[in-house]
């Protein structure tokens, strides 16, 4: 092949390759390159109108690279045929081939970058978001007033060295009644109308069952100091002061030498922490089968300070809990020898405390999930 023959062949390869590259650009919707020295127009059949998706452009570009720069390309074949040339011509032809290859490689790089930028621009345009749209606001929750009271009471007793325990809402007759000295057919059972699940299982009517469970767990260690908050159930008709489900906090302190004065001191500290430093408590004799002696415990009316008002029914006192010295039968029944150990227990009605603290006059308000009530607790804790 003559020298011009080589040149012509290379020029043709170059022209065809650049035209094919242009066709890819056009199909991707880009303007045709105005290459002044381009000799032949884009070959027919390679110009497809309309925009091809970006992935098509990438694939076509890959195929182009294989066809024009790959091992089986016309350019590589020219190199392979160089062996048949007179040795003195080889460097010139080789240089020419390299020149064309370099130009094609550069053209390839340019189009590849263009395609990439175009794809990026398209994605940015498609994914534009309108930042002026008002956002969706997240409703802020609030701690329920009953849980706030529980948290506060827990905090007070943690400070006095008590631990916190939680029990099951489904309880056995034995723990809920028998071991608390309330045998079957005992009239005290009538005080707590019960939801029975079976002969032996029930929804606990009070958190006092946790006294037994805690002592069983701790035995034979002393002291036992525990606070057990939780939900309890009774077959009561719901009204302004009764709910079939409500919350209690049980307290228990068992050790050697625990006395009634310890109970009173503890409850006084509790009342002061909860209702203010001027509080005093009053113990009135009462009856619970699992304590002896038993007491109902009042605080000075937090509305009138003791002078008498509607809230305290003009008595100046408000009942907040039941308490007493743990009955020897209960201690012995669970393995704490009552000749050595003594203790006190108390049970607080959480709703009652919350109603007093927050001035709520209907217990049902805690369970109706009225946002107007709950929102008032959204601010601080
Ligand atoms: N469990 C009793 C009730 O639900 C409340 C109570 C009274 C608990 C005296 C006690 C206590 O621990 O000592 O009515």
The residues near 266 (Cβ < 8 Å, ≥ 6 apart) are 160, 251, 253, 344
Question: What span, in angstroms and rounded, lies between the C-alpha atoms of 34 and 45?
Answer: 20
- Reported as a pLDDT band with limits 50, 70 and 90, residue 85 is confident
Whole-prediction pTM: 0.66
Domain annotation covers residue 138: no
Cβ neighbourhood burial of 91 (10 Å; 0-12, 13-18, 19+) = exposed
Question: What span, in angstroms and rounded, lies between the C-alpha atoms of 325 and 252?
Answer: 10
DSSP state letter for 196: B
What CATH number is given to the structural domain containing 328? 3.30.930.10
Question: What span, in angstroms and rounded, lies between the C-alpha atoms of 237 and 103?
Answer: 93
Listing DSSP states for 227-256 in one string gives EEEEEEE--PPP-SS--SEEEEEEEEEEEE
- The helix (H) or strand (E) run that includes residue 207 is none
Q: 322 C-alpha to center of ligand 1: Å?
A: 5
In short, whether 321's Cβ falls inside 6 Å of ligand 1 is no
- Reported as a pLDDT band with limits 50, 70 and 90, residue 103 is very high
In short, whether 289's Cβ falls inside 6 Å of ligand 1 is no
Pocket residue to mutate for ligand 1, from 206, 210, 247, most atoms within 8 A of Cβ: 206
Pocket residue to mutate for ligand 1, from 347, 350, 353, most atoms within 8 A of Cβ: 347
In short, whether 215's Cβ falls inside 6 Å of ligand 1 is no
Ligand 1: residue whose CA is nearest its atom 6:
347
Q: Verify cis geometry, omega within 30 degrees of 0, for the bond prior to 293.
A: yes
Domain annotation covers residue 338: yes
Question: What span, in angstroms and rounded, lies between the C-alpha atoms of 236 and 229?
Answer: 20
Q: 236 C-alpha to center of ligand 1: Å?
A: 17
Question: What span, in angstroms and rounded, lies between the C-alpha atoms of 304 and 64?
Answer: 93
Could you identify the residue written with the tokens 């089968």?
289
So what's the pLDDT on residue 34? Answer: 53
113 pLDDT higher than 90: yes
**Percent of the chain at pLDDT exceeding 70:** 92
Whole-number Cα distances in Å, 244 to 45, 52, 109, 241, 285? 84, 70, 78, 10, 27
So what's the pLDDT on residue 241? Answer: 87
Q: 140 C-alpha to center of ligand 1: Å?
A: 36
Q: What are the DSSP E strand ranges found in the chain?
A: 163-164, 170-172, 201-203, 224-233, 245-256, 281-288, 291-300, 317-326, 341-349
- Reported as a pLDDT band with limits 50, 70 and 90, residue 348 is very high
Q: Are 234 and 205 in contact (CB under 8 A)?
A: yes
In short, whether 323's Cβ falls inside 6 Å of ligand 1 is yes
Segment among 87-101, 219-233, 237-251, 255-269 with least mean pLDDT: 87-101
pLDDT per residue over 23-44, tens digit each? 998 888 887 665 544 444 445 4
So what's the pLDDT on residue 316? Answer: 94
Question: What span, in angstroms and rounded, lies between the C-alpha atoms of 99 and 105?
Answer: 10
Whether 161 and 60 share a structural domain:
no
Whether 293 and 209 share a structural domain:
yes
pLDDT per residue over 283-341, tens digit each? 999 999 999 999 999 999 988 889 999 888 999 999 999 999 999 999 999 999 999 99
Pocket residue to mutate for ligand 1, from 210, 231, 288, most atoms within 8 A of Cβ: 288
- Reported as a pLDDT band with limits 50, 70 and 90, residue 1 is low
Residues in the chain: 381
Domain annotation covers residue 140: no
Whether 325 and 231 share a structural domain:
yes
Mean pLDDT of 261-289: 96
pLDDT per residue over 123-172, tens digit each? 888 888 888 888 888 877 888 999 999 999 999 999 999 999 999 999 99
Q: Are 251 and 345 in contact (CB under 8 A)?
A: yes
Domain annotation covers residue 245: yes
Q: 218 C-alpha to center of ligand 1: Å?
A: 21
Q: Are 291 and 323 in contact (CB under 8 A)?
A: yes
In the sheet that holds 281-288, the strands lie side by side as: 163-164, 224-233, 245-256, 341-349, 317-326, 291-300, 281-288
- The helix (H) or strand (E) run that includes residue 258 is none
Q: What are the DSSP E strand ranges found in 204-333?
A: 224-233, 245-256, 281-288, 291-300, 317-326
Whether 203 and 119 share a structural domain:
no
In short, whether 177's Cβ falls inside 6 Å of ligand 1 is no
The last residue of a domain, from among 96, 126, 156? 126
381 pLDDT higher than 50: no
Could you identify the residue written with the tokens 């743990």?
326
Q: Which of 217, 71, 228 is nearest to 163 (CA)?
A: 228
Atom of ligand 1 nearest to the CA of 208: 1
Domain annotation covers residue 53: yes
- The helix (H) or strand (E) run that includes residue 110 is helix 90-126
Angle, to 10 degrees, between the axis of helix 54-69 and the axis of helix 90-126? Answer: 170
Whether 185 and 102 share a structural domain:
no
Q: Which pairs with CB-CB distance under 8 Å and at least 24 residues apart come from 120-124?
A: 122/54
Q: Which of 319, 289, 145, 299 is nearest to 206 (CA)?
A: 289
In the chain, what are the helix, strand and coil shares in percent, each to the nearest 5?
Answer: 45, 20, 40
Q: 323 C-alpha to center of ligand 1: Å?
A: 6
Domain annotation covers residue 320: yes
Domain annotation covers residue 98: yes
Domain annotation covers residue 133: no
Q: 316 C-alpha to center of ligand 1: Å?
A: 23
Mean pLDDT of 61-78: 89
Whether 150 and 69 share a structural domain:
no
Whether 73 and 159 share a structural domain:
no
The residues near 59 (Cβ < 8 Å, ≥ 6 apart) are none
Whether 115 and 187 share a structural domain:
no
The last residue of a domain, from among 126, 157, 172? 126
What is the domain range of residue 100? 3-126
Mean pLDDT taken over the chain: 89
Total domain count, the chain: 2
């Amino acid at each position: 092949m003559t020298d011009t023959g080589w040149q012509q062949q290379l020029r043709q390869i170059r022209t065809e390759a650049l035209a094919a590259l242009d066709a890819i650009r056009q199909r991707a919707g880009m303007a045709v390159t105005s290459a002044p020295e381009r000799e032949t127009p884009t070959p027919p059949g390679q110009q497809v109108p309309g925009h091809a998706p970006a992935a098509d452009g990438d694939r076509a570009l890959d195929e182009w690279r294989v066809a024009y720069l790959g091992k089986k390309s016309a350019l590589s074949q020219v190199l392979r045929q160089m062996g048949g040339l007179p040795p003195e011509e080889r460097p010139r032809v080789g240089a020419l081939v390299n020149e064309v290859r370099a130009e094609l490689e550069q053209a390839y790089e340019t189009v590849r970058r263009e395609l990439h930028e175009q794809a990026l621009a398209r994605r940015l345009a498609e994914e534009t978001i309108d930042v002026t749209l008002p956002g969706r606001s997240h409703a802020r929750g609030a701690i329920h007033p009953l849980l706030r009271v529980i948290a506060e009471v827990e905090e007070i007793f943690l400070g006095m060295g008590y631990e916190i325990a939680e029990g099951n809402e489904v309880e056995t007759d034995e723990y809920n009644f028998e071991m608390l000295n309330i045998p079957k057919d005992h009239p005290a059972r009538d005080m707590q109308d019960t939801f029975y699940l079976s002969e032996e299982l029930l929804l606990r009517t009070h958190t006092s069952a946790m006294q037994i469970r805690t002592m069983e767990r701790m035995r034979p260690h002393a002291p036992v100091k525990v606070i057990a908050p939780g939900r309890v159930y009774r077959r009561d008709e719901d009204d302004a002061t009764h709910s079939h489900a409500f919350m209690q906090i049980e307290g228990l302190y068992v050790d050697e030498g625990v006395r009634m004065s310890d109970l009173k001191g503890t409850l006084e500290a509790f009342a002061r922490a909860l209702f203010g430093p001027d509080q005093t408590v009053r113990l009135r004799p009462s009856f619970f089968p699992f304590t002896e002696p038993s007491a109902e415990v009042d605080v000075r009316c937090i509305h009138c300070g003791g002078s008498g008002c509607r809230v305290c029914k003009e008595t100046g006192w408000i009942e907040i809990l039941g308490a007493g010295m743990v009955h020897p039968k209960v201690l012995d029944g669970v393995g704490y020898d009552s000749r050595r150990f003594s203790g006190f227990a108390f049970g607080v009605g959480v709703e009652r405390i919350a109603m007093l603290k927050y001035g709520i006059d209907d217990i049902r308000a805690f369970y109706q999930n009225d946002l107007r009530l709950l929102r008032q607790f959204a601010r601080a804790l």
